[in-house]
Amino acid sequence: METENRTDTEEKPESREQRRPLRRTAVIVGASSGIGKETALKLSAKGYRVYNISRTPFKGDRVKSVTADAAQEGEIGRAVVEIGEELGGFDLLVYSAGFSMAAPLEFARSGDYRYLFEVNYFGAIEAIRAAVPYLRKKGGRVILVGSMGGDVPIPFDGFYSSSKAALVMLAREADVEMRPHGIRVLALLPGGTATDFTYSRRVYGEEESKTYSPSVKKASAALANLEQGGMTPSLVADTIVRLAEKRNPPPVSAAGGRNTFLRYVGKLLPERMTDYFVRRKFNQK
């Protein structure tokens, strides 16, 4: 009789399994280095299953990598679909791929700035479009890593600034479209961040920059100092994780209190005053 009572009150293994929280999954485009890598490590530490999409695989066994080039049309979408089909759905897409170039507008090569937009902007569109069916199943979220440079001009890095400004508007518009379907799309704007991104920037030399060469050198040096003396990628990654889990996050936010304040003040100042401070900051007359 005692045995029968214990059998009646015990939970079946299936019911216990059903009560376990499902493991969340994040897909990061550009997790092989910098902000993307730090984000992958932090999400993994919180129990996420993390996938990286990039040309270079993630070093280590905590993240599974799928090789793709954001500059090649169709590759990011293929990689996202591959992961989505394997899992049946996922919870978070982070787009952290990026490219920067210091070049005068007059002499910039179309191949260079078109490549930049493929990586920084069109790759994000492709990733979002491919991810929507899989995010919809989970009520998922997209976080696009923009830049404070999308709010203010960076001398001789205008293509980068333009691409990041476009990324912010993409996030806002996509959030309006997709929120009724249970998907949130957000943009995060870091300020200068100390990563190897500084050293991979394509800086035009004297022959390429021609009459702008002295100004390009000054501006790119100032930008490098700003980045290497700026935020840590770990701090930016912490903000991404908070946005991923916050109940009702804003569509656009800056990383860190200082950048949040600067962004607010920048919206209040006249543009001519903002541009004056930019010229001073980047050693332009």
Residue pLDDT, tens place only, 211-251: 999 999 999 999 999 999 999 999 999 999 999 999 999 99
| CATH code of 96's domain | 3.40.50.720
Is 10 part of a structural domain of the chain? no
C-alpha to C-alpha distances, 267 to 261, 270, 271, 274, nearest whole angstrom: 10, 8, 9, 9
In sign, the C-alpha dihedral spanning 92, 180, 243, 161 is positive
pLDDT digits (tens, 9 = 90+) for 185-216: 999 999 999 999 999 999 999 999 999 999 99
State the Cα–Cα distance between residues 136 and 125, nearest whole angstrom.
16
Task: Print the domain residue range for 231.
Answer: 23-281
- Tally the domains of the chain: 1
pLDDT surpassing 70 at residue 93: yes
C-alpha to C-alpha distances, 66 to 83, 88, 117, 131, nearest whole angstrom: 8, 16, 22, 15
Best CA proximity match to 82, nearest among 127, 136, 31: 127
pLDDT digits (tens, 9 = 90+) for 149-186: 999 899 999 999 999 999 999 999 999 999 999 999 99
Is 214 part of a structural domain of the chain? yes
Count of CB atoms within 10 A of residue 149's CB? 22
Better-scored residue on pLDDT, 111 or 280: 111
Is 17 part of a structural domain of the chain? no
Is 11 part of a structural domain of the chain? no
Is 48 part of a structural domain of the chain? yes
Among 9-13, 58-62, 175-179, name the one with the lowest average pLDDT.
9-13
Is 7 part of a structural domain of the chain? no
Is 1 part of a structural domain of the chain? no
Is 196 part of a structural domain of the chain? yes
State the Cα–Cα distance between residues 50 and 228, nearest whole angstrom.
28
Tell me the residue type at 18. Answer: Q
Whether the Cβ atoms of residue 131 and residue 248 lie closer than 8 Å to each other? no
